[in-house]
Amino acid sequence: MTLTGSRGAAPVRAPREIAAPGTGGVGDSPLRPDGTLKVKGEFAYSSDLWIDGMLWGATLRSPHPRAKIVSIDVSEALAHPGVATVLTHEDVPGRRHFGLDHTWDQPVLAFDEVRHQGEPIALVAADHPETARRAMEKIRIEYEVLEPLTDARRAAFDPTYPQVQPRGNLARHQPVRVGDVEAAKARAEVVVSGEYRVGIQDQAFLGPESGLAVPAEDGGVDLYVATQWMHNDLKQIAPCLGLPEEKIRMTLSGVGGAFGGREDLSMQIHAAMLALRTGRPVKIVYNRYESFFGHVHRHPAEMRYEYGATRDGKILYAEVEILLDGGAYTSATMNVVGNAASLGVGPYEIPNIKIDAYGVYTNNPPCGAMRGFGAVQACFAYESMMDKLAAACGLDPVTVRQVNAASQGSELATGQVVWAPLPMAEMLQQARELPMPPPLDPADLRNLPGGASQTTHGEGVRRGVGYGVGLKNICFSEGFDDYSTARVRLEVIGGEATVLVHTAAAEVGQGLVTLEAQIARTELGVDRVVIHPADNQVGDAGSSSASRQSYMTGGAVMTACQAVREGVFALAAARLGRTYDDLSLAGGKVVSESAGVLATIEDVLGDAVVEETREYHHEPTTGMDPVTGRGDSHTQLALCVHRAVVDVDVELGLVKVVELAAVQDVGKILNRLSLEGQIHGGTAQGLGLAVMEEIVVADGKVRNPSFTDYLIPTILDMPPMRLEILENADPRAPYGLRGAGEPPTLSSTPAIVAAIRDATGLALTRVPVRPEHIAGGS
Amino acid sequence: MRVTFTVNGRRETADDVWEGESLLYVLRERVGLPGSKNACEQGECGSCTVYLDGTPVCACLVAAGQAEGREVRTVEGLADGDRLDPVQEAFVECGAVQCGFCTPGLVVQAHDLIERVAQPSDAEIREALAGNLCRCTGYEKILDAVRLAAARKAAAS
């Protein structure tokens, strides 16, 4: 294919085509195409790139969450030996702001004011990372430090609170109104209420932000980056660099995990600016400390819920307020608020609903996309409410959920009707009936809460069981024209029919490249599939977010393959001199249902190349009404049920999660091995939020930006898992599939907290649950 | 300064090494072996695990100068050409690899475990790998992989 413009030199270890091993189609579990490279240490991550003569870029960031910038003096830094250039906001070639959605409110480099700790102010390019660090220390910035605005509630509701940024302090308020809540209050026999909080969670992907920018002869730049959505990056990068999009060639390099944290730009524009200024390749690699400031996090939430019900547990009304703190810039806050609102009461049938979801600006750490995206926060609250309601009605937690469970044909809070199977009551039953793990052998102290620290011999240890259900929208919602593009090429190479699949979709670890090969094999009956590196020389694939790539890029590869198949049939007809209307491709052959095998695909193709590019769009959605929240805002919904079993040392407040069982409906199992990995991994991140993970903030400053102080689950923290995977097809989706990566992240958190409540009898209204919340009896 | 050491059986010399550089930096940026990963650079995540004179260490915590004259084996030195080590093979087969950034460190650490303990129990596997963070897999498939590699190795010997 043709590249526009003229590229710069290629780096050592540039991403290249990878042949997919094995023979498996849709439903099999062939090996990952990139697996062997990864276990050998040969897979080229964006931090592994190297090119002759490259410089190292570094980013000077604000130590203050809110301050006026009085002056910036880079002269001393520029004079430091080994420094190639130092850049500030004055050097931004084009637009000074970028942004993930339509609100371009984030400065490429801060000017006039900094609005969060870690906001980028200046860039250095030097011959060694240490040179760059030392030069940064010589940049003189005079600040007028201001009191940070950190009170999300005042930001939302107090008009006298100072503004964080010119847009005002309220990013979005999305109401949902159903029925008549006030009238329903009069009929309620049981009323329960609660206030819940969710702390800031970090994606904590293992591969920090990094990439390489290579200046090109045409005045453009080649960018090798780790991102979730190349084309959306490009839309922001090009105007800020003052370049047309075709002069920026982007190639996806190895991505060390994402989980939402790579939706926003990090080092892309910065590295390109340094490369264009110096005329030399520039590599930027954040370390872990910088990574905590280099991407947005999961929104912290304050949530107030009140449910009224009949004595037998049927919910009559829900009154809900969800307050999400987005930090200084918009990022994904608009859509996170939309999700929190539309999924605010989860998969339950409730006739009268009043939800108000708010997203605000503050000088706290910036927040945006993370796996679960607004649905996680609400899920912790509504599932906690279900347990509270169960207790108030004298019902068990499973029954109260079954009494109110949505099912196919139900209306959700937005009025959207569940059109696909949603066997929630049955899934809960299945979770309940799974065998319970036996008591752990206390003779091996590693089995007890506290583990090898030997903090107990079993005294004070109580077991608890809890359930959680989570409903997640799959693909982009609220009227967004969501699509993906795939180019598929079939030709004979070395005597063997070979499929080349080319998309811009980001493989971030989830296994999309495996699935692309499976789909090609199923649709084209050819074993040999090669995956082209993802780049912007093919159309937009959308983001590796919202559990959408199996659906969207899977759908695009499927339809492109089907178009290629038609091309092969046409060649077959020309070669055989007659047409058939019952052809298929299987086992490397063109097969007629009536006449049997007609020819090998190689014979039919000869020297011909059949190449087709297709876009795949999902069923359109609508926006949410700004007053009532009504609308068919989601294209697919997916459900996961968790049962958690915990042992809690009630004296020390230590929790050992003993087992996690998940029942999830995925529509169709495309690749069991990858799918199980998604459910396991999603569950683990939910466990992290339940009992470990929080970015601790004081006065707008992060207190724990390291893996020493921000703890994510280790292999000792994760218990054995039991999975029950259902296949109730969604008839609208490719192969009937349902996106699977996010739902388990929703439901595992409330299940674990419910189990801790069961063990301790405590209310536990915030996550993560810390030892002092248990031992202190909160 | 100049640092000379053996990596995966090959003698390597790195010149102009700044005294503050770690063994990890020298491996990745000077010797051309970026397989060992830079996820935290403070010894918490284990993604840079390499053998130093036969003992697994976090390469990020070893100063480059400390490697002088010593023997380093990295993830790139485990396979025999195209023939993967049983641990590597099992990681791919069992789905223990997703984004793969933790994989090099885990593979080296698991390799060390089954060198020392032929048939490790689950508790032993968990203890041995407790210093290696993985954000993608939830560790279930990693346990599967170590069990499989140990079983295959035991069967072969």
Flag whether A355 is in a domain.
yes
In the structure encoding, which two tokens stand for residue B68, read together? 């002088």
Beta pairing partners, A91: none
Residue A269 is predicted with a pLDDT of: 98
pTM attached to this predicted model: 0.97
A715:B29 CB<8 A:
no
Same domain, A369 and A309: yes
Of the pLDDT bands very low, low, confident and very high (cuts 50, 70, 90), residue A581 is very high
- E runs forming strands in A315-375: 315-325, 352-360, 367-368
Q: Is residue A413 part of a domain?
A: yes
Give me the residues paired with residue A373 across strands: none
pLDDT at site A7:
75
A316 Cα distance to chain centroid: 34
Name the pLDDT band for B76 (thresholds 50, 70, 90): very high
Minimal CA separation from B130 to chain A, in Å: 6
Tell me which residue range forms the domain holding A235.
55-146+208-255+262-294
Cβ of A257 within 8 Å of Cβ of B34? The answer is no
For A431-441, give one letter per residue: b (16+ CB within 10 A) or e. Answer: bbeeeebeebe
- Taking the C-alpha atoms of residue A377 and residue A432, their distance in angstroms, rounded to an integer, is 24
CATH code at A542? 3.30.365.10
- Tell me, yes or no, whether A684 and A703 share the same domain: yes
Decide if pLDDT at B155 tops 80: yes
A593 lies in the same domain as A661: no
pLDDT in tens, B51-70: 999 999 999 999 999 999 99
Angstrom distance (rounded) from CA A456 to CA A689:
25
Where is the domain boundary, A589, A617, A645?
A: A617
| Of the candidates A54, A3, A373, A34, the residue with the CA atom closest to the CA atom of residue A210 | A54
Render pLDDT for A521-575 as a digit per residue (tens, 0 to 9).
Answer: 999 999 999 999 999 999 999 999 999 999 999 999 999 999 999 999 999 999 9
Neighbours of A393 (CB within 10 A): 20
Check whether residue A120 and residue A250 sit in a common domain.
yes
Residues of B in contact with A713 (CB under 8 A): 138-139
The DSSP call for residue B83 is B
Q: Which fold has domain B86-156?
A: DNA polymerase; domain 1 (1.10.150)
Are the beta carbons of A689 and A198 closer than 8 angstroms? yes
Q: What is the pLDDT of residues A208-253, one digit of tens each?
A: 999 999 999 999 999 999 999 999 999 999 999 999 999 999 999 9
Mean pLDDT of all residues in chain B? 97
Q: CB B136 to CB A47 under 8 A?
A: no
Give the closest of A36, A41, A508 to B104, CB-based. A41
| pLDDT for the residue numbered A441 | 86
Q: Does A373 touch chain B (CB under 8 A)?
A: no
> CA A673, CA A485: separation in Å to the nearest integer?
26
* pLDDT, position B110: 98
> Mutate which of B19, B85, B101 to test chain A, going by most A C-beta atoms within 10 A?
B101
Where residue A304 falls (left for φ over 0; alpha for ψ -120 to 50; beta otherwise) is beta
**Looking at residues A35-52, what average pLDDT do you find?**
96
DSSP per-residue letters across B12-73? EEE-S--TT-BHHHIIIIISS-TTS--SSSSSSS-TTEEEETTEEEEGGGSBGGGGTT-EEE
Region(s) of chain B under CATH 3.10.20.30: 3-75
Q: What is the DSSP letter of A743?
A: H
B128-139 pLDDT tens trace:
999 999 999 999
Instruction: Give the nearest partner residue to A39 out of B21, B45, B107, using CB atoms.
Output: B107
Q: Which candidate, A168, A30, A407, A43, places its Cα nearest to that of B95?
A: A30
Cβ proximity of A485 and A558 under 8 Å: no
Q: Which of A32, A40, A262 to mutate to test the interface with B (most CBs of B within 10 A)?
A: A40
| Partner-chain residue, chosen from B28, B47, B130, that has the shortest CB–CB distance to A715 | B130
Please report whether residue A219 resides in a domain.
yes
Cis, bond preceding A438 (omega within 30 deg of 0) = no
Pairing of strands A610-617, A113-114: unpaired
Distance from CA of A714 to the nearest CA of B (A): 6
A81-98 pLDDT tens trace: 999 999 999 999 999 999
Average pLDDT over residues A53-77: 98
- B-proximal residues of A, 638-697, CB under 8 Å: 673-674, 676-677, 680-685
Cα Rg of chain A (Å, integer): 27
Alpha-carbon B152 to chain mean position: 20
The pLDDT of residue A440 is: 85
Expressed in angstroms, the distance from the first to the final Cα of chain A is 63
Answer yes or no: are the C-beta atoms of A68 and A146 closer than 8 Å.
yes
Q: A291: phi > 0 → left, psi -120 to 50 → alpha, else beta; which?
A: alpha
Of the pLDDT bands very low, low, confident and very high (cuts 50, 70, 90), residue A1 is very low
Last residue of a domain, one of A577, A592, A617: A617
Phi, psi of A244 (to 5 degrees): -70, 150
Q: Is A97 helix (H, G, I), strand (E, B) or coil?
A: strand
Q: Is A356 in contact with A345 (CB distance < 8 Å)?
A: no
Q: With contacts defined as CB-CB under 8 Å, which chain A residues touch B131?
A: 714
Residues in chain B with CB shorter than 8 Å from the CB of A207 are: 37, 39, 99, 101
Say if residue A584's pLDDT is above 70: yes
- Region A344-362 average pLDDT: 98
Best to test chain A binding among B26, B38, B41 (most A CBs inside 10 Å): B38
Predicted pLDDT at B29: 94
- Answer whether residue A177 is part of any domain: no
Helix (H) and strand (E) counts for chain A?
A: 18, 34
Test A680 with B139 for CB contact under 8 angstroms: yes
Residue A393 shares a structural domain with residue A496: no
Instruction: Identify whether residues A289 and A415 lie together within a single domain.
Output: no
Per-residue pLDDT, B125: 98
Q: Are A551 and A653 within one domain?
A: no
Query: Helix/strand/coil (H, E, C) string of A144-211?
Result: EECCCCCCHHHHHHCCCCCCCCCCCCEEEEEEEEECCHHHHHHHCCEEEEEEEEECECCCCCCCCCEE
| pLDDT of res. A5 | 54
Q: Are residues A420 and A443 in the same domain?
A: yes
Q: What percent of chain A has pLDDT over 90?
A: 95
A666-690 pLDDT, tens digit each: 999 999 999 999 999 999 999 999 9
Residues 6+ apart with CB under 8 A from A226: A45, A46, A207, A209, A210, A211, A252, A253, A254, A255, A256, A258, A262
For chain A, the domain total comes to 3
Q: How far apart are CA A247 and CA A134, in angstroms?
A: 33
Mean pLDDT of chain A: 97
Q: Which of B29, B88, B137 sits opposite A677 (nearest CB)?
A: B137
Question: Do strands B3-7 and B10-14 pair parallel, antiparallel, or not at all (unpaired)?
Answer: antiparallel
Does A83 lie in the same domain as A71? Answer: yes
Q: Is the pLDDT of residue A778 over 60?
A: no
- Domain-located, residue A45: no
Chain B residue with minimal CA distance to A203? B135
Chain A (721-750) residues lying within 8 Å, Cβ to Cβ, of chain B: 721
Nearest CA in chain A to B98: A509
CATH number at residue A243: 3.90.1170.50
- Nearest residue to A229 via CA among A536, A447, A5: A536
pLDDT of residue A101: 84
Looking at the structure, tell me whether residues A648 and A722 fall in a common domain: yes
Please indicate, yes or no, whether residues A301 and A290 belong to a single structural domain of this protein: no
Spell out the residues 6+ positions from residue A515 whose beta carbon is closer than 8 angstroms to its own: A550, A554, A670, A671, A674
3-state secondary structure of B142: helix
Which tokens hold the place of A701?
């400053």
For the B3-75 domain, the top CATH level (class) is alpha beta
Q: Do B40 and A706 touch (CB under 8 A)?
A: yes
Give pLDDT tens digits for B15-56: 999 999 999 999 999 999 999 999 999 999 999 999 999 999
- Tell whether the model's pLDDT for residue A168 goes beyond 80: yes
Residues A645 and A592 in one domain: no
pLDDT surpassing 50 at residue A318: yes
pLDDT at residue A2 is higher than 80: no
Give the one of A50, A128, A509 whose C-beta lies nearest to B98's C-beta.
A509
Tokens for A197? 């909080």
Among B42, B51, B139, the residue to mutate for chain A (most A Cβ within 10 A): B139
pLDDT confidence band for A48 (50 / 70 / 90):
very high
* Confidence at residue A4, expressed as pLDDT on a 0 to 100 scale: 42
**A646 assigned to some structural domain:** yes
Nearest CB to A39: which of B95, B103, B140? B103
The answer to whether position A270 is within a domain reads yes
Confidence band, pLDDT 50/70/90 cuts, at residue A3: very low
* Residue A316, SS3 per DSSP: strand
Structure tokens at A136: 């940064």
Phi-psi category of residue B113: left, alpha or beta, with phi > 0 → left and psi -120 to 50 → alpha: alpha
Residue A431 lies in a domain: yes
* ipTM rounded to 2 decimals: 0.99
